[in-house]
Structure 1
Amino acid sequence: MVLLSAAAEWYIFSASEGRIFERSADVPVRAPALVLGCSPTFMGGPNGYFYNRMDTAAELWKAGKAAVFVVSGDNSSHAYNEPEWMKRALVERGVPEDRIVCDFAGLRTLDSVVRMKEVFGVSTMIVVSQGFHNERALAIAGHEGMEAWAVSAPDVPNRRSRIKSWFRERAARIWMTLDLWLWRREPRFLGEPVALPEAKGKNDQRPMRSCSS
């Protein structure tokens, strides 16, 4: 297990080195953005990971680095809909609704990344999440032959939450390595290809395909 963990850390570091940025303006490409999902609430209170992630995604729009956003998350029940929550949060932050596409089958990070390629036809993208999560997403993208960069949302100030996230991430990285190299797992759902809206300039207000449930 120790060797597997070390191999996972090495692979993720190698795949993500030099591809993660703290400021949206520093991202060297203009490409569709994949916003990885989570819930806006946690244990009855606001989830700082969610709000920091949405703020960072909106900064990509304002910086002109992304004109199309895929909000990918879990919608496994009628009452739990991460993509819809993310879409609403981005609209509140000034991203036009018709520039947002919902991916309701982003049950895992692997599903979200691979579906960008296989369902939405994306080969180059910008990932938005916290730094530790971005590293793993970029490793998956690299395995899939995608050109991906990431912009990192701020972490949460709560020390206990950061410690829990650190341990969860170590397990997720081992699981990712097994998924990619041993089990060769695919997303739970793929389906027919979906064409993303054309990535026009941010000041072009012509209508585009909107995000709908």
Structure 2
Amino acid sequence: MDAASKDTAPQSEKEPASRTRQITLRVIRWSTALVALAGAIVLVSASWVSIAAAGHLYDADDAPEAPVVIVLGSQVRDGKPMKFLAGRLDAAVQLVQDGKVRAVLVSGDANGRSGNEIQAMTEYLVAAGVDPDRIVGDEYGLDTYDTCARAVQTYGVTKALIVSQGLHVSRAVALCRDAGIDVDGVEGACECNRLAVVRNYAREWLARPKAVLDLLSGRDPAVVSPPDGSLATVSAG
């Protein structure tokens, strides 16, 4: 092998290795940038929720009066509310018993993967002593944004309390206030295991950017229904 061949061979071997390093560095830079962007979006959306909900969060004991309390649906099992949903319903029962609200709007998915949330919520409230004539069910509250939009557009709600747990109640308040409801949030209790709480907190952090996107888009709820005056009649009684 002559001298030229000796110089050329190592160089040809170095070029693929150099290109591989460049590609790897480029992937790392882009990945880091995307992670930073995602983190920034989550933090900005979380800040918006916190600011929008500030001063509007209460326990059931010190909640203000309102014509109606909105209870957000969640998973059921064998036709019964699971612990998160039961905690929300218990808070609504207390609000009714304390005379702070006159009507209950149970809003969720009547065709949910775990079962009929509306039926389960209604039956739970009635078993706890709430007059069934005070309960109105929205079967198309498919997510929190839809619940708030439909409360205004379909049921004519202008002032309300809304019940959920932890970070979710803050997001619900922010979304409903943006929809035009003078709403305050009520914290529902939950005798839940730590894993369930952590999982729901993680999911809530990820849900906040979607909430901001929904607001920016101004989308209609997934199901648009004609006006329904049943809630106004109940809450005025």
TM-score range, shorter chain: 0.7 to 0.9
User: Which position in structure 2 is the counterpart of 1:152?
Assistant: 187
Please list, as runs of the form range in 1=range in 2, the aligned pairs for 1:71-82 lying within 5 A after superposition: 71-76=106-111, 80-82=115-117
Shift of the alpha carbon at 1:85? 0.6
User: Which position in structure 2 is the counterpart of 1:208?
Assistant: none
RMSD over aligned CA atoms reads 2.1
Further displaced range: 55-64 or 183-192: 183-192
SS in structure 1 of the partner of residue 85 of structure 2: helix
Shift of the alpha carbon at 1:12? 0.5
Aligned-partner Cα distance in 1 for 2:72–2:98 = 19
CA contact 2:77–2:115 (8 Å) conserved in 1: no
Structure having the larger proportion of residues in helix: 2
User: Which position in structure 2 is the counterpart of 1:188?
Assistant: 222
Residues 105 and 130 from structure 1, CA distance in 2 versus in 1: closer, same or farther, beyond 3 angstroms?
same
User: Which position in structure 2 is the counterpart of 1:179?
Assistant: 214
Please list, as runs of the form range in 1=range in 2, the aligned pairs for 1:1-80 lying within 5 A after superposition: 1-22=38-59, 24-41=60-77, 47-76=82-111, 80=115
Runs in 1 of length 4+ with deviation above 4 angstroms? none
Aligned-partner Cα distance in 2 for 1:200–1:185 = 30
Post-superposition CA distance 1:111-159 (Å, at most 9, x none): 1111100100011110011132111111101212221001111134411
Q: How many residues align?
A: 198
Aligned-partner Cα distance in 1 for 2:118–2:200 = 21
Percent identity over the alignment? 31
SS in structure 1 of the partner of residue 162 of structure 2: strand
Post-superposition CA distance 1:156-210 (Å, at most 9, x none): 44111111111100111111111112x3222101211001123256xxxxxxxxx
CA contact 1:131–1:152 (8 Å) conserved in 2: yes
Please, which runs of 5 or more residues in structure 2 have no aligned partner? 1-37
Aligned-partner Cα distance in 2 for 1:49–1:58 = 15
Aligned-partner Cα distance in 1 for 2:159–2:150 = 13
The TM-score, its normalising length taken from structure 1, stands at: 0.86
User: Which position in structure 1 is the counterpart of 2:140?
Assistant: 105
Residues 46 and 98 from structure 1, CA distance in 2 versus in 1: closer, same or farther, beyond 3 angstroms?
closer
SS in structure 2 of the partner of residue 111 of structure 1: helix
